[in-house]
Amino acid sequence: MEWNYNYGNFSYFYDARTGKRKDSNTGSYGTYSAGTVPSDGTGLTLVDPEAWYYWPTEKQKYWNHVTQYVTGGLNGGARPYGNFTTWSGQFEGWYYLFVKNTPRPDTTPPPAITDLKAVTNGSDILLTWTAPSAPDLARYHSVWCTKPISETSTPNTSVTNWWAANTICPNLIPNPGTQRSLVISPSSTTPFYAAIFTFDQADNRSAMSNVAQATSSPIPTPAPTATPTPTPKVKSKPRPKSIPTPIPTATPTLVPIVTQALIPVSNPVNPSVPDSSSFLTTQSWGIAGDIPIPADYDGDNKADITVWRPFDGNWYLLLSSTTSPFIQPWGVFGDRPVTGDYDGDL
């Protein structure tokens, strides 16, 4: 639709780089600059798509472009073939008439994302950003390419128009005001550029986010350690470990969601009646993208509900001995968490 508005003008054929336009009736060619191309009757198939494009962007220029073509043609060219006055089941005109006759109470787009980042890890790209604080935020539309991405349409081949880039519409809960992430597996990660649009519940679209170019993930250099001398150990009765003192850290923007519910267990005597003395406890902990790693971290012989968050390197623990959240930073994006008793103190 951007191409049609900026170059094509509902024409039958137009080459934006050479300026050549073909007339569908005569078959002859003429040369026109962008913005002066006469419309053609065969452009009727673009009326509904451009009306649809106007709906989420709320940019009046697209609707004016459509209505001028429907009512009288553009630049001395023809009006569209077909019926755009009423709709009785024909393929053309249904969305045009919907937009024309439907009032919109909400025309304010959501804020644009301003802190999009991209990090390379092997064949994957991790995108992270802060979701805009709009309460009616509904969804994301991500675009990526191996060239810089332009929001303004251009014939410059050194960049990619956003509408010609690769598209991903992730199924993510918007969570306004929180940190969000998305992993993309492109065919090539060098170079890699990405941008994101946001939509609200009224289908208004934001401006494009900042364009993020992928950078390599930093790999920490391990500190040298002395090789321990093996000594015989006397196996003793396991004893509870003291709860580790957490490393001071700023409270992360994204806090795990904690909810609990009691689910009655079926009565073995009469399955249709719940056993009032037995319940299962369910626990929500973490967000999409977290890696669950349950283990006994506080030494009370009970598994602690734990997840590791790849994009911030934090471990989020719900210790059974205290029932309090506990956050421990350890690792970077690309690591694979593996728990175990590595010093043999159990």
Residue, of 323 and 211, whose pLDDT is higher:
211
Per-residue pLDDT at 236 exceeds 70: no
Mean pLDDT, range 252-274, rounded to an integer: 48
Going by the DSSP 8-state scheme, the letter that residue 311 receives in this structure is T
> Which amino acid does the sequence have at 190?
T
Question: Residue 203 pLDDT more than 50?
Answer: yes
Is 299 inside any structural domain?
yes
Q: Write the CATH number for 153.
A: 2.60.40.10
Per-residue pLDDT, averaged over 94-115, amounts to 91
Query: Of all residues in the chain, what percent carry a pLDDT higher than 70?
Result: 79
For residue 123, what pLDDT is reported? 84
Answer with the one of 162, 196, 216 that is the final residue of a domain: 216
* Closest C-alpha among 14, 252, 224, 249 to residue 128: 252
- Spatial distance between the Cα atoms of 10 and 5, rounded to a whole number of angstroms: 8
**Higher pLDDT among residues 140 and 278, named by residue:** 140
pLDDT above 70: residue 228: no
Residue 344, in any domain of the structure: no
Q: How many domains does the chain have?
A: 3
Q: Are 179 and 121 in contact, with CB atoms under 8 Å apart?
A: no
Round to whole Å and give the CA distance between 264 and 276.
Answer: 7
DSSP-assigned states of every residue in 272-324: TSEEEEEEEEEEE---TT-EE--B-SSSSSSPBEEEEETTTTEEEEE-TTT--
pLDDT at 21: 94
Q: What is the pLDDT of residue 217?
A: 53
Ordered DSSP codes for 77-108: -PPPSS--S--SS-SSSHHHHHHHH---S--P
- Does 230 fall in a domain? no
Where is pLDDT greater, at 273 or 21? 21
* Same domain for 51 and 130: no
Residues above pLDDT 90, as percent of the chain: 41
Instruction: Please tell me the predicted confidence (pLDDT) of residue 258.
Output: 44
- Residue range of the domain that includes 139: 117-216
Whether residues 134 and 210 share a domain: the answer is yes
pLDDT of the residue at 247: 45
Checking if the pLDDT of 333 tops 80, the result is: no
User: Are residues 323 and 281 located together in one domain of the fold?
Assistant: yes
Mean pLDDT of the chain: 81
pLDDT at position 281: 59
- Are residues 12 and 94 both part of a single domain? yes
Asked whether residue 337 is domain-assigned, the answer is: no
Question: Does residue 147 form part of some domain?
Answer: yes
Instruction: Flag whether 108 is in a domain.
Output: no
Give the pLDDT confidence of 42-93 residue by residue, as tens digits.
Answer: 999 999 999 988 988 878 899 999 999 999 999 999 999 999 999 888 889 9
Please, are residues 114 and 133 in contact by the beta-carbon 8 Å criterion? Answer: no
Q: How far is CA 219 from the centre of its chain?
A: 26
When pLDDT is averaged across residues 142-165 and rounded to a whole number, the result is 93
DSSP state of 205: B
- One domain, residues 202 and 272: no
Residue 247 maps to a domain:
no
Report the pLDDT averaged over residues 170-174. Answer: 83
Of 75, 101, 127, which marks where a domain is finished? 101
DSSP tag of 342: T
Task: Note whether 207 and 287 are same-domain residues.
Answer: no
Would 134 be classed as within a structural domain? yes
Amino acid at residue number 236: S
Last residue of a domain, one of 101, 129, 154: 101
